[in-house]
Structure 1
């Protein structure tokens, strides 16, 4: 047999073996994540969690979200498109995941103070749009986040009083405990009706959501 052909076939066999190993590893990882998610289903959604979309929707997207995370910002337009595409069937539940430490914690406090004033979504949009400004290195960059919140109508004095009450600290402590129990290690991490998203491709989130919505639509009406 030609030496080049032997080398080529050997390389091809090695590549196939590697691809198979990667596939099996990814399948095992996904199955483990699904099992862990099902075991921790009660830790997915709490009454204190922010909700976007129809509160009684049959399909729930849970997003473990860090307002300082660039990937969360990149995914956000796709999430909004999904909510717009399936408005009656979908709700988004946000769980805070402060992986950027103090910067994330301060941003979560601003979001929760805004939610208490009925301004969660406008502040969320403002913080994501202006993310680079308030996550940059330097003293008092979080002041820029406060300025963004104020620009969309947040009463800063009332917001600071809300934060001082300690209620946000309690909520955040619960979210941190849950993300550890579920095994969340990166943001954003998504679950759709308890099923973990197996890809970092925003289109994969849409496909998983569409599949769940279609399953719901096939159910007989009550």
Structure 2
């Protein structure tokens, strides 16, 4: 074997080895997350988490989202459409993974609005106005203090600021951040369906995983 062939063979071996190692790692990581989810529901679906859909649904979609994440905003409607597709069988649970600068404060604003019964309305305004306050070059999450009431949400803003600064809300956000780390969530949106991660990211992959769990749980 000449030198050129030896180099080529070595490169091929390295590429194959890397691919095998990558696939093994992904499989091992997915198995680790599913094990954690099976052993501790509190890590995946804690009591404080906001949710939509029937609580007795056998398929639970957990979404870790970042309020400033553009992809999270893009997936907002498709995820709601999934709930419409399976109105009696799918439950959506929202968790925070505030990776962007300022996002942790926005998560706290959402929780403060929640204490006044306006969580879902505030979430809609947050995503609808994301381009105004979440510029990656100059994020201004403080603008939401003006944007929320300007959108017609009847909020007691003084009370909201007090709740925003409280320990109760901070502990909720910190719990989500810790659970995201435990589950290996490194980017958003991060989806888990009955504790299973997407094999690769994409809307089609999300639909497929939900369909698989629907078949497993509801097909007699």
* TM-score, scaled relative to structure 2: 0.81
C-alpha deviations, 1:51-101, integer Å up to 9, x for none? 122233221111111111112112222211111111111111111111114
| Alignment correspondent of 1:125 | 124
| Alignment correspondent of 2:206 | 205
Residue pairs, 1:20-99, within 5 angstroms = 23-24=23-24, 26-99=26-99
Contact 2:103 2:141 in 1 (8 A): no
Question: Would you say how many aligned residue pairs link Structure 1 and Structure 2?
Answer: 211
C-alpha deviations, 1:123-163, integer Å up to 9, x for none? 11211121111112448x22322233211414122311222
Distance 1:132 1:22, change over 3 A: same
Q: Find the residue that maps to 2:163 and give its secondary structure.
A: helix
Structure 1: tracts of 5 or more residues without a match: 1-9
Shift of residue 20, structure 1, vs aligned partner: 6.1
Q: Find the residue that maps to 1:161 and give its secondary structure.
A: helix
Structure 2: tracts of 5 or more residues without a match: 1-8
Distance 1:47 1:17, change over 3 A: closer
Give RMSD over aligned pairs.
2.8
Shift of residue 16, structure 1, vs aligned partner: 7.9
Residue pairs, 1:149-168, within 5 angstroms = 149-150=148-149, 151-155=151-155, 156-168=157-169
Shift of residue 36, structure 1, vs aligned partner: 4.4
2 CA distance for matches of 1:152 and 1:208?
37
Shift of residue 40, structure 1, vs aligned partner: 4.6
